[in-house]
Structures are given as structure tokens and as C-alpha cells.
């Protein structure tokens, strides 16, 4: 099968909805998607909403979104580092590509800790995701202990260097990085927006340094993730350098998530008006 090129320009603001291991039934997944109802008529040209459900819901939701003409992209929460073969229980990025997904979350801290995913594994996943012309959403971030020691920038820099080491060139590639401090995930203890901004600028500097072709490209986005909700969203998204958010818990609470979409939509509009 020939692999189509992913679109090369990502809209100015993006929201990734990481449903994690939720909901418990296909019926509920279907309801959730329908109630998010990202209306195609709304001019969302500057905003991309990416739904990342559990693997088994991807195909029915993709088909449903198509039939309802919803303006949403789909992503997986993980993938394996080979395309096919004797890897019981695994799902490949080639399968995801052939299904119509556009994005794959790679290196989420829950996988790094519960599944013992190392930077070596993550680097292999990033490589194959790129080869299959999907866009990785690479998650990086420090633990509470590392932050107490003031090591957050070193930790993030090391993760980026290791996780992207197979990537020689970012030209004509899409890359999304999510800064997700581990201590902020699912705790309600969100990172202060100014601190998130500082780290996001730092990540962009590293990417610029490591991939000189990057300068001026519109195909790299850096998001914040960790206890984002309808109350704190505007304090992140008002910053031009914060290209969007990765939302976990609040993405499966319909009213919360719709408010988040509205806020990010407003910010994307303002950004495009300033151009
Ligand atoms: P949270 O999760 O929004 O529930 O903190 C974010 C994430 O894990 O990606």
C-alpha cells in the first residue's frame, strides 16, 4: 500500500484529547464523540482537535466522524516500533496509518512509568511513526523529584535528544512535542502558565539548535499538558508560543472539553487576525 503524505502544515493551535483507557464501552465512546460535536460549519481553520481514544474505538469513531462530518482528526495513544510481525498484542503505526489516523502519542509518562518504556524504545517508535508519515506527539517532562532539584530543563533536553536521535531532518515533517510535567498529570496541580511558557520556549530552542532546517517552519508545535481544564485553559493559550494543549481527564467531560475547545478557538482566531 502506498503511504499518502500527511498534510504538512498544522493549524496554529491544536488540542489533543487523550482519552487514556476510557470509556468502558463502544457505546459510551460513540456518545462522547457525538456530544463533542465539532461542527464542520464553524470555521476551525486555525484549530485542530485531535481525538486519541483507545485503539479499539479508533475505526468506529473515524467512520462516525466522517458520517457526521465532524471536524476532528484522530490519533492513537501509542504504537509498536515495527510494522508487522510476531509481536503479540501490539499495534503498528502502519496499521494506524492505513486506518486513517494522523497522529500517534509517543512516550507518555504513564507508559514510561507503568510500561517501563525507555528513551531507546521511544526513539524507535518515533522513527517508524515518521516513516509511516504520521505525526508523533512526543511527551516529555520531569518528575516532582527532578523539579525539586531544579533539573527540569536538563531532563527535558535529555529526553528530546534521546527520543529524537533517529531523526536527522525535520524538513517536510510534522512534529508535535507536549511538555507534560509528570507531577501535573491528573493531579489538579497544574504547572504555572509562565513556567510552562518558559519550558516550551526552551524546547523550541533545542529543536531549532538540533534541527537547523526547522527555522521558520510551521510544522513543529509544542503543547502543554497536565491538569488542563476549562478554568485554566485561557491562561496557557493566550501565549503565542504555547501552540496548544494535551488534555486528559477534562477531555472526557463533555462540558469541560467543549469550553476548552471554545477558548482555544478564540485564541486561534486572535492569532490569525494578528497575521
Ligand atoms: P490530565 O492528563 O489532563 O488528566 O492531567 C494529561 C495527560 O496525561 O496527557
Q: What is the DSSP string of 205-259?
A: HHHHHH-GGGTT-SSEEEEEESS--TTTHHHHHTSTT--EEEESGGGGSHHHHHH
Query: Which residue is catalytic, options 48, 102, 117, 180?
Result: 180
Bridge partner list, 245: 15, 224
Looking at the domain assignment, is residue 8 inside a domain? Answer: no
Q: What pTM was estimated for this model as a whole?
A: 0.93
Looking at the domain assignment, is residue 4 inside a domain? Answer: no
Residue 244 CB–ligand 1 contact under 6 Å = no
Residue 246 CB–ligand 1 contact under 6 Å = yes
Looking at the domain assignment, is residue 3 inside a domain? Answer: no
Domain residue limits at 132: 13-274
CA of 227 to the centre of ligand 1 (A): 6
CA of 89 to the centre of ligand 1 (A): 25
Give me the pLDDT at residue 10, please. 66
Looking at the domain assignment, is residue 65 inside a domain? Answer: yes
State yes or no: is 108 an active-site residue.
yes
State the CATH number of the domain containing residue 184.
3.20.20.70
State yes or no: is 120 an active-site residue.
no
Give residue 6's Cα distance to chain centre. Answer: 15
Which contacts of 28-33 are long-range, i.e. CB under 8 A and separated by 24 or more positions?
A: 29/53, 29/54, 29/57, 29/60, 29/61, 30/60, 30/61, 30/64, 32/252, 32/254, 33/61, 33/64, 33/65, 33/70, 33/72
Residue 174 CB–ligand 1 contact under 6 Å = no
Residue 185 CB–ligand 1 contact under 6 Å = yes
Give me the pLDDT at residue 210, please. 82
Instruction: Among 236, 249, 256, name the best residue to mutate to test ligand 1's pocket (greatest count of ligand atoms within 8 A of Cβ).
Output: 249
Instruction: Among 180, 181, 183, 188, name the best residue to mutate to test ligand 1's pocket (greatest count of ligand atoms within 8 A of Cβ).
Output: 180
For the chain, the domain total comes to 1
Looking at the domain assignment, is residue 257 inside a domain? Answer: yes
Give me the pLDDT at residue 208, please. 85
Residue 247 CB–ligand 1 contact under 6 Å = yes
Give me the pLDDT at residue 65, please. 92
Looking at the domain assignment, is residue 1 inside a domain? Answer: no
pLDDT tens figures, 210-241: 876 554 556 889 999 999 999 999 999 999 99
Name, in order, each residue with C-beta under 8 angstroms of 97's C-beta and a sequence gap of 6 or more: 3, 132, 133, 134
Each residue's pLDDT tens digit in the chain (275 positions)? 334 445 556 678 999 999 999 999 999 999 999 988 766 545 666 889 999 999 999 999 999 999 988 888 999 999 999 999 999 999 999 999 999 999 999 999 999 999 999 999 999 999 999 999 999 999 999 999 999 999 999 999 999 999 999 987 777 788 999 999 999 999 999 999 999 999 999 999 999 888 765 545 568 899 999 999 999 999 999 999 999 999 999 999 999 999 999 999 888 876 666 65
Looking at the domain assignment, is residue 198 inside a domain? Answer: yes
Amino acid at each position: 500500500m502506498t503511504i499518502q503524505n500527511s498534510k504538512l502544515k498544522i493549524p496554529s493551535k491544536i488540542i489533543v484529547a487523550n482519552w487514556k483507557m476510557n470509556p468502558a464501552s463502544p457505546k459510551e465512546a460513540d456518545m462522547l464523540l457525538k456530544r463533542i460535536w465539532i461542527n464542520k460549519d464553524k470555521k476551525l481553520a486555525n484549530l485542530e482537535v485531535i481525538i486519541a481514544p483507545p485503539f479499539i474505538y479508533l475505526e468506529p469513531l473515524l467512520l462516525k466522524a466522517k458520517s457526521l462530518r465532524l471536524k476532528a482528526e484522530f490519533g492513537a495513544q501509542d504504537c509498536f516500533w515495527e510494522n508487522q510481525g510476531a509481536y503479540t498484542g501490539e499495534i503498528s503505526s502502519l496499521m494506524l496509518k492505513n486506518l486513517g489516523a494522523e497522529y500517534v502519542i509517543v512516550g507518555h509518562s504513564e507508559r514510561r512509568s507503568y510500561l517501563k518504556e525507555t528513551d531507546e524504545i521511544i526513539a524507535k517508535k518515533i522513527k517508524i511513526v515518521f516513516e509511516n508519515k504520521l505525526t508523533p506527539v512526543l511527551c516529555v517532562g520531569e518528575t516532582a523529584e527532578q523539579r525539586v532539584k531544579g533539573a527540569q530543563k536538563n531532563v527535558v533536553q535529555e529526553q528530546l535528544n534521546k527520543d529524537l536521535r533517529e531523526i536527522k531532518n525535520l524538513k517536510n515533517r510534522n512534529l508535535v512535542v507536549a511538555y507534560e510535567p509528570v507531577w501535573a498529570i491528573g493531579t489538579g496541580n497544574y504547572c504555572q502558565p509562565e513556567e510552562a511558557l518558559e519550558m516550551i520556549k526552551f524546547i523550541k530552542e533545542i529543536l531549532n539548535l538540533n534541527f537547523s532546517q526547522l527555522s521558520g517552519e510551521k510544522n513543529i508545535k509544542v503543547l502543554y499538558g497536565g491538569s488542563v481544564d476549562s478554568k485554566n485553559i485561557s491562561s496557557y493559550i493566550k501565549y503565542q508560543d504555547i501552540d496548544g494543549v494535551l488534555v486528559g481527564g477534562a477531555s472526557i467531560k463533555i462540558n469541560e472539553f467543549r469550553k476548552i475547545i471554545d477558548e482555544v478557538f478564540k485564541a486561534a482566531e486572535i492569532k490569525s487576525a494578528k497575521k
